[in-house]
Amino acid sequence: MLVPNRFSNLKFSLLNITALLIEYLKQEKKASIDDIINYLRFYSEDYDRDDVTLSITFLYALGKVSYSEKTDTIKLVSEKVIVS
């Protein structure tokens, strides 16, 4: 298990990736994992599927996003849930 330290790259922190994910979902309303990965790669080519799935899992556990297995998409539960 990796423990954050003063040399950690905050660009890859769960909170940063989650913030980028929320920003994208607020614009697009819903998206596939591949869409989200492509969006994150605009910021850095180093983001990968694991970064996205951890962030989605985090938001899902908090009840902030829903997942549709039928369409394989993620969307914010409510625009009001996330404060700008």
* Spatial separation of the C-alpha atoms in residues 70 and 79, rounded to whole Å: 22
pTM of the model: 0.79
Yes or no: domain 10-81 corresponds to CATH 1.10.10.10: yes
- Look at residue 1 in the predicted model and tell me its pLDDT: 54
With a cut of 80, say whether residue 8 has pLDDT above it: no
Q: Specify the higher pLDDT residue, 4 or 50.
A: 50
Q: Backbone dihedral region of 72: left (phi > 0), alpha (psi from -120 to 50 degrees) or beta?
A: left
* Spatial separation of the C-alpha atoms in residues 10 and 46, rounded to whole Å: 13
Other Cβ atoms within 10 Å of 11 Cβ, number? 12
* Cα first-last separation, the chain: 32
Other Cβ atoms within 10 Å of 47 Cβ, number? 21
Average pLDDT (9-15) is 81
